[in-house]
Amino acid sequence: MKFLLFTVILSLTSVAAVEAAPKNKAVVIKVGQEKVVPGTGIKVKFIEVLEDARCPADVTCVWAGNAKIKLQLTKAGKSETVELNTALDPKEVKFAGYSFKIAQLLPYPRSNVRINRLGYVARLQATPAGR
């Protein structure tokens, strides 16, 4: 009986801890697209890739390189254009109570393939700011 009571209390505590954890949001967006980050009311528009100097996957480099993208973030009539990097600062920006960063930028460069500027897809992560 004590074991069953302990298990129930542990389960309830675990559920409460999961509910209290920050709610990270993700959005996958192509160049030129605009999407709403789920549960935030924040619109994100992927304007363009400003730079892609990442080391190609089929080459050995001293440094991984960097890619820089431009986004427009909008909520409740307030709009801000920001730039984010994969390796250099700023890697993160704050807007409307959320912190945004690039989780992934595809396609990853290869030495013998030229990437169409409209072919990029970014996976962005939005985390409640201050957590």
Question: Mean pLDDT across the stretch 36-52?
Answer: 97
Residue 106 lies in a domain: yes
pLDDT tens by residue, 74-118: 999 999 999 999 999 999 999 999 999 999 999 999 999 999 999
Which two tokens mark 114?
């030229």
Asked whether residue 8 carries a pLDDT value surpassing 50, the answer given is: no
Residue 9: its pLDDT value, please? 46
b (16+ CB within 10 A) / e for 106-125: eeebeeeeeeeeeebebebb
Among 41, 131, 51, CA closest to 84 = 51
**Could you tell me if residue 10 is inside a domain?**
no
Could you tell me which residues come within 8 angstroms of residue 14 by beta carbon, excluding any fewer than 6 positions away? none
**Number of domains composing the chain:** 1
Looking at the chain, the number of H-run helices and the number of E-run strands are: 1, 8
Q: Residue 129 — very low, low, confident or very high, per pLDDT cuts 50/70/90?
A: confident
| 123 token code pair | 């996976």
Residue 7 included in any domain: no
78 occurs within a structural domain: yes
Q: What is the pTM of this model?
A: 0.80
* Domain membership flag for residue 6: no
Residue-range definition of the domain harbouring residue 73: 22-128
Helix (H, G, I), strand (E, B) or coil at 2: helix
Residue 59 lies in a domain: yes
pLDDT tens, residue by residue, 9-34: 444 444 444 444 457 899 999 999 99
Which pLDDT does position 22 carry in this prediction? 53
Residue 105 sits in a domain of what CATH number?
A: 2.60.98
